[in-house]
Amino acid sequence: MTHVLIIADIEGIIGIKDLSNEEESAEIYTQEIELYIKALLENGVDKITVCDAHNRGNMINSRITKYSNGNDLSNIRLVAQTPSVCFNEKYDFAIMVGYHGMEGSSGILAHTFRYEFKRISVVDKKMGYNIPIGEVEIKTRWLGSHDIPVILVTGDREAVYEANCFNPYRQTCCCVSYFDDGVVGVDALYEKLAHNVKAALNLDWQLCLSHDDSEIEVEFYHPDTVDALSKIGYNKREDKVVFNSCADFMGSIFNLSEQLYQVDLENQEINIAFLKEIRKLAGSLGKEEFANSEAGALLGNGNLVTLDKATRDKVMMVIKSMVANVS
């Protein structure tokens, strides 16, 4: 019996331009997953586990488990989010579908896991420098740590580039691009996907196996985040948080997300208290004078979440100087 694990995301799905209409997006998402299931069953795969890795993992319609194509219905299963993937089972290979480019790339909905992450890099000791990676490479290495080769990656142009960056052998299929001119219809792209599924099944799967033997470093947009995380046990190196491997990062991602949420709440409380203190100190200054000052400009560039310690210290110094001059 051949068992495939599908790790699915939505941003690289054909027809998804934004996620404002959740019901419509879920239907488009489900339809493309059905295409993969049909193509796999028609090419001899016996068992399929689909992991909806997008957000809460509740966008793919459970009707996919009823797609039989003459096969046993129980052989198609849907699970929500990556922690629900059971690695006690044997998966012959995985495919990653609907993937997107990393944060900062030219993708339609480019990002890397969460909005706080500015850049994630693999520490390449052999080459002597760090290489930016996104969700595609992180997950192929995570799956590789469980001895599961990723034989096919589909999605936007940037995701496909990343999938072949470290392993040019695996099959990839670009079906979404920021520069798409809309000439190619959905049916033609679906045919292309089905063709790529068949081609991937003919590869030497073991040559698609990724190794997860390097540290990764995570940089954040908010400069105070690393210090906040290091205080609760995360490994800090300069201005980055370090994980031993991609598997280590994937095992921490949900706890990390919750802790980042708490960091945001704490930062808001600090900034609210800071602004109250500033209002008291600046009471002798005119509103226009304050707004046109360096302090006003600094505060105008941030909000309750993004305002950081260095900016607060600078604003405080400027305000005290202005108040002293008035006195």
CB contact set of 223 (below 8 Å; sequence gap of 6+): 239, 308, 309, 310
First to last CA, the chain: 83
* Whether 40 contacts 202, CB under 8 Å: no
pLDDT in tens, 208-225: 999 999 999 999 999 999
Where do the DSSP E strands lie in the chain? 3-8, 47-52, 76-80, 93-99, 117-124, 129-133, 150-156, 171-176, 216-220, 235-237, 240-243
User: Would you state the pLDDT for residue 323?
Assistant: 77
What three-state secondary structure class fits 224?
A: coil
User: Would you state the pLDDT for residue 66?
Assistant: 87
pLDDT in tens, 240-290: 999 999 999 999 999 999 999 999 999 999 999 998 988 888 777 777 777
Question: What class is the 3-113+134-208 domain?
Answer: alpha beta
C-alpha distances in Å from residue 226, one per residue of 14, 33, 266, 305: 36, 38, 14, 15
- Band of the pLDDT at 70, cuts 50, 70, 90? low
pLDDT in tens, 152-201: 999 999 999 999 999 999 999 999 998 887 889 999 999 999 999 999 99
Ordered by start, the domain boundaries in the chain are 3-113+134-208, 216-326
- Which region among 146-155, 160-169, 301-310 has the lowest average model confidence (pLDDT)? 301-310
- Band of the pLDDT at 322, cuts 50, 70, 90? confident
User: Would you state the pLDDT for residue 283?
Assistant: 74
Mean pLDDT of 226-246: 96
pLDDT in tens, 8-35: 999 999 999 889 999 999 999 999 999 9
Residue whose pair of structure tokens reads 């208290």 in the numeric block? 273
